[in-house]
Amino acid sequence: MLAVEIDNIHKSYGDTKALDGLSLTMPQGSVLGVLGPNGAGKTTTVKVLTTLITPDRGSALVDGIDVVADPDKVRARIGLTGQYAAVEERLTGRENLEYIARLFHMPAAEGRSRARELLQRFDLVEAGERVVLEYSGGMRRRLDIAMSLIARPSVLFLDEPTTGLDPRSRLSMWELIEELGSEGTTTFLTTQYLDEAEALADSIVVIDRGQVIASGTADELKDRIGGDRLVVTIANADNLGRAAEALAGLATGAIETASVDRQLLIPIKAGGGVLPRAIRSLDDAQCEVIDVELRRPSLDDVFLTLTGKTANDDEEIR
Amino acid sequence: MTSPETLEVGKRARQAVPTGPEWLLRDAWTEATRHLRVIPRNPELIAFATIQPIMFVLLFVYVFGGAITAPGYSDYNQYLLPGIMAQTVVFGSATTGVGLAEDLSKGLVDRLRSVPMQQSAVIVGRTLADLVKNTFTFVIMLVVAFMVGFRFEGSLFQALVATVLLLLFSYALSWVQALVGLSVKSVEAANSLGFLWMFPVTFVSSAFVPTETMPNWLQPIAENNPFTRVTNAGRALYNGLPADGAVVEAFAWSLAIIGVFAVLSFRKFRQTTAR
């Protein structure tokens, strides 16, 4: 059975289409990385699947259960960790876990032993008796995820779990998610970080403007780009056009230019002395070269190819 | 870190998790205990809940007490204090909206809406916890009122009915505040908006001065203000004066407000998510 099955869901807020015919599936026992820039519809998708909002159109199933028709049954099978640590700050870690266990209608003894297990599992045994107000950001997130796992959910939803964390906490969160994944926790992970999706997810869907624009494993997505890329940085942005002309003979596809970075992105065939030829052509065209880099395609390139913009374009505008 | 079995993913979820309306009371109790447990850990809240009633009684009694006389009462304080009590418990209802807005901004509401509990229990539990807090405030206020000379001039039973009425009315306004808190979504807005409407409601009333002393155009508004009705009923009961139908009317107002705003806040809650 599929853990998640979304078929053509739509959701609009006024004139804004948050979801515009999004469809995806996710098998059990896997980690799905949902990748997209701010405002692509990641959180809206999570909210539909966790019964927080109702889609205008389309169907969404979790564990084969319809989220609109049977929200309580869905709620019994999921765990949600949103973008902020949703914990009661003046309760201790243990009290928070036991509190959520009660809301899942677990018998008190089971709730207590489950809380003990999870505190141990998430390295919070000592902190368990302290109020959350005294926790660090990373500890709060760990407690938050522990709370989401209290009732042994079929699907764990992690909505941008590393947003706002310092680099060290981010890394330990990665380790945690990786471990959960290897233990078979079915995880629906949203992120705006390409490296995060690549490191943690078994398969990736890329979404933009409320639609899935690509899906597959990280390798499959990279294959779509095909071949390697040459990244050339030149001294003068005015010469970008001239440089692109000079390099056209080497390219296997359209050359991208970024005037701010004074860079050219040239899709090429791997190997074959491309590098010296490129430098020679640029020299002939009298373009001063600052840097030349041969790059294996990254997910950033995938995103650029698919949407014509980098994943973080939106953020830079703000 | 322990063995992978710790997670046993999906195991419990695939068993049936009990849900249904019969869980409303238990879930509401779980929510109420969450709030009641944190009160002793929040010294500022306790200080505020204690100092506010003391301050209100002392300020009004000593600042206004000498200047105004209320015909028909042994002393202006006998007229004034029930009004102050009513106003203080009404102000106490603001914590409901602020608390819900806080849960919302912290993302807790999203978590609560994604667990198989009875959704309405979130607001029921919150209002019940606030009722306990308001009862505490009320007891302190009553003690201070007695220290400045206030007396029950009717029977003890009448005083008890008056107390229940005032607390019920504050409970009713907690439901209004719940809707405010869920609608504005930010703690700051819930705080300022939650207090804002309570000033005209409590001052354009019979709480501090008889409505006959107000301008003609204001009198009917003050007279028909439910807060006036509740204050009049409480005041009559505390003073052992004939209350006519005022007591029944005041209880009816309180229950009607609870009914209407419970429906509105439940509906709002089911559509509410952070951001």
Rounded-to-integer distance, Cα A259 and Cα A109, Å: 64
pLDDT of residue A235: 87
Q: How many CB pairs lie under 8 A apart between chains A and B?
A: 132
Average pLDDT over residues A24-50: 93
Which of A78, A131, A151 is the closest to B12 by Cβ? A151
Contacts A106 to B, Cβ<8 Å: 12
Above 70 in pLDDT, residue B12? no
N-terminal to C-terminal alpha carbon distance within chain B:
35
Report the C-alpha dihedral over residues A242, A246, A249, A250, rounded to 10 degrees. Answer: -100
Cβ separation A75–B116 shorter than 8 A: yes
Mutation to test the B interface, candidates A52, A54, A180, most B Cβ within 10 Å: A52
CATH node for A227-296? 3.30.70.100
Given a contact cutoff of 8 angstroms between Cβ atoms, the answer to whether A272 and A228 are in contact is no
The pLDDT score that the predictor gives to residue A283 is 87
pLDDT of residue A226: 65
Residue B84: per-residue pLDDT: 92
Q: Which of B108, B115, B275 sits opposite A104 (nearest CB)?
A: B115
Domains A2-222 and A227-296 alike in fold: no
Q: Please check whether residue A117 touches B, CB under 8 A.
A: yes
Residue spans of the domains in chain A: they are 2-222, 227-296
Listed residue (A51, A48, A64) closest to A12, CA to CA: A48
Residue range B195-220, pLDDT digits in tens: 899 999 999 998 888 888 899 999 99
The DSSP H or E segment spanning A258 is strand A256-258
pLDDT confidence tier of residue A38, bands split at 50, 70 and 90: confident
Q: Determine contact: A103 vs chain B, CB below 8 A.
A: yes
Q: A201, A141, A186: which is closest to A168 by C-alpha?
A: A141
| Between A225 and B173, the higher pLDDT residue | B173
A75:B114 CB<8 A: yes
Give B-chain residues touching A118 at CB under 8 angstroms.
6
Task: Determine whether the interchain pair A91/B7 forms a contact, defined as Cβ–Cβ distance below 8 Å.
Answer: no
Residue A267's nearest CA partner among A299, A234, A236, A301 is A301
Residue B11: predicted pLDDT: 55
pLDDT value for B4: 43
Q: Give me the residue from A91, A121, A184 closest to B34, CB to CB.
A: A91
Closest to B147 (Cα-Cα) out of B272, B28, B53: B53
Across A23-32, A306-315, B12-21, B165-174, least confident range: A306-315
* Cα Rg of chain A (Å, integer): 23
Q: Which residues 156-195 of chain A have a CB within 8 Å of chain B?
A: 156, 179-180, 182-186
Q: Which residues of chain B have a CB within 8 Å of the CB of A92? A: none
- When pLDDT is averaged across residues A105-111 and rounded to a whole number, the result is 93
Q: At what angle do helices B246-271 and B121-147 cross, to 10 degrees?
A: 140
Q: Which region among A249-258, B136-145, B160-169 has the lowest average model confidence (pLDDT)?
A: A249-258
- Inspect the interface and report whether the beta carbons of B1 and A152 lie closer than 8 Å: no
Cα→Cα distances B177→A200, B100, B136, B182, B261, Å: 44, 9, 19, 8, 9
CATH code of the domain made up of A2-222: 3.40.50.300
* Strand order through the sheet with A263-268: A256-258, A263-268, A228-234, A289-295
**pLDDT tops 50 at residue A151:** yes
- Whether A65 and A2 have beta carbons less than 8 Å apart is answered as no
Picking from B1, B38, B106, the nearest residue to A84 by CB comes out as B106
ipTM score of complex: 0.88
Residue A22 has pLDDT above 60, yes or no: yes
Q: How far B14 CA sits from the closest chain A CA (Å)?
A: 7
Mutate which: A102, A116, A143, A177, vs B, most B CBs within 10 A: A102
- Confidence (pLDDT) at A225: 66
Q: How confident is the model at residue A7, as a pLDDT?
A: 96
* Mean pLDDT, rounded, for B133-160: 93
Of A218-227, B176-185, B257-266, the poorest mean pLDDT is in A218-227
pLDDT top residue among B259 and A251: B259
Q: Which phi and psi (to 5°) does residue A276 adopt?
A: -60, -35
Regarding beta strands A203-208 and A57-62, do their DSSP bridges make them parallel or antiparallel, or are they unpaired?
Answer: unpaired
Q: Mean per-residue pLDDT for B8-13?
A: 54
pLDDT band at A287 (very low <50, low <70, confident <90, very high): confident
Nearest to B9 among A72, A104, A184 (CB): A184
pLDDT category at A218 given cuts 50, 70, 90 is confident
Q: What is the pLDDT of residue A296?
A: 72
- Residues A230-275 have pLDDT tens digits of 888 988 888 888 888 888 888 888 888 888 888 888 888 766 688 8
Give which of B19, B37, B38, B111 to mutate to test A binding, by max A Cβ within 10 Å.
B111
pLDDT at A195: 84
Lowest mean pLDDT among A143-157, A204-218, B49-63, B95-109: B49-63
Arithmetic mean of pLDDT, B28-44: 93
With beta carbons under 8 A apart, name residues in chain B contacting A38: none
Q: What is the mean pLDDT of chain A?
A: 88
The beta-carbon neighbor of A76 closest among B19, B23, B41 is B19
**pLDDT for residue B275:** 56
**A108 — pLDDT class (breaks 50, 70, 90):** very high
Residue percentage of chain B with pLDDT more than 90: 65
Chain B residues in contact with A182 by the CB 8 A cut-off are 4
How far B167 CA sits from the closest chain A CA (Å)?
A: 27
Q: What is the pLDDT confidence band of residue A169, given thresholds at 50, 70 and 90?
A: confident
Residue of B nearest to A148 (CA): B111
| B151 pLDDT tier (thresholds 50, 70, 90) | very high
A78·B110 Cβ contact <8 A: no
Model pLDDT, residue B10? 54
